[in-house]
Each structure stands twice: as C-alpha cells, then as structure tokens.
Amino acid sequence: MSRALEDRRALITGATANIGAATARLFAQEGARLVLVDRDPAIEETAAGIRESGGDAHAVVADVSSADEVDGLVRVVDDALGGLDVLVNNAAIQRVGAVEAIPVEEWDEIFAINVRGYFLMVRALLSALRASEAASIVNTSSQTGLHGAPGATAYSATKGAVIAFTKALALELAADGIRVNAIAPGWVDTKFNTPAITMLGGADAHGDLVRATIPLGRQARPEEIAAGSLYLASAQSSYMTGQVLAVDGGLT
C-alpha cells in the first residue's frame, strides 16, 4: 500500500454510503485522518467501521446547504484534526423527471445541496486549507455535467455548475498553493442512481443502455471512483489544478 495520504487531514461530505463511503474507507487505508459529514445520522456507522479497521474518523451530522451548520464544522475540524489538507465535496442528491414537471422546490433543493453546499464548504474551510502546505479540493461532478442527460436537467445543471465552480476556483486559489479539481463519474453501481434507473424503465433497460453506450460495457464500482479522488487529493497529481477527471468507462 502506498499510504499516499499519510498523516493528511481530510474532510469528506456525503460520506454515509455509495461513492462517499468508499472514498472515506480508501482515504483511511491510505493514512488520512478524517472528518466525515452527512445529514444522515448513519454517518456514524461509516466512521465506526473505519475506526474498527484501525483508521481515524470522526462523524458529524450536518446539512451542507445550511450556512450555520457548515460554519460549525470549522471548530470540529480544528478540534478533531488540528487543521485541514484535503476537502472532498461529495454530498449530492438526484432528482429526475421531465423539465416541465420539476417542482420549483425540488429544483431549488438540488442546487442548494449540489452547488451551494460546495461553495459553503469552501468558504468556511478556506482559512484552514490556506494553512496547509499541500492543500487539495476535490469536487464530485458527473458525466452529466459534461454532456447533460434527458430527464435529468436539474441534476445535469448542478453538475455542470460544479465544473465551472472548480475551474474558476482553481484559478482563484492557485496563488495560495491550493489545487482544485473535479471528478466526473459515469454510471456507478450504487443506490444513488435508483431514481434514474427507474426513469429509464428499470434494471433491464438500464443494463441495455450501459452495454450499448459504455465502451467498457459495465458500471463502475464505488471503489473505482474513490481511486480517482485519491489521485486528485494526493501528491500524485501535484501539477494538476482546474481539471475534470472523467471516470466513466470511456463514455465521454
């Protein structure tokens, strides 16, 4: 094992399950000390599992779309980690349906978590990242943010916004030595994609779509996306900033 994040201090949002949990486990295996954030109280189970495996993980129940709750994480990071080297903005929700059928409240909710939440996290933790000697921000986007997806206009719009935010932020923070990159997963075998699979007509129809459109012919495992985030967070990508790493089986 490379221990690519030995003694690095990292915060990961949306870490209860799916890509976020896989990323947390991998980062811990690679030596990172973690603060894991999710609005789902089950985040403590993820942190407990890491601790049982010998890792260092603290769980915090917080809503990334709430400025007050995000600002409260500054004290948590200082107390638990004594600083911050890596921020992984991963928290997200998915909403699907025809654009004319999307309630305004749902549109606002998905932007509040998928975009506003990333901004709030960066704003709150920027001072801690500036104090790091090798700070890195990894934002989770999506292949839908690169080319869009019918029936997923709201989700696609948020993930496209994450890409634009990443590129602008990378330019803004380069002088501070803070690298900012995004990862853009394709189809990943997680429950997160259940709404999209249902919209497509179920598992069989989705499987046909995957085989027809993804050159590698399958979905990713969450651990494969986590590996991409590890690369962007670590010194292995030390000369990369403002980039979007597509991990999508050749789809884009």
List residues with catalytic annotation: 155
CA separation (Å) from 125 to 67, 93, 103, 118? 12, 22, 32, 11
Residue 176, SS3 per DSSP: helix
**221 token code pair:** 């495992």
Q: How many residues does the chain have?
A: 252
**9 token code pair:** 């201090």
Instruction: Please name the residues in contact with 249: beta carbons below 8 A apart, sequence gap of 6 or more.
Output: 186, 187, 214, 215, 216, 217, 218, 219, 220
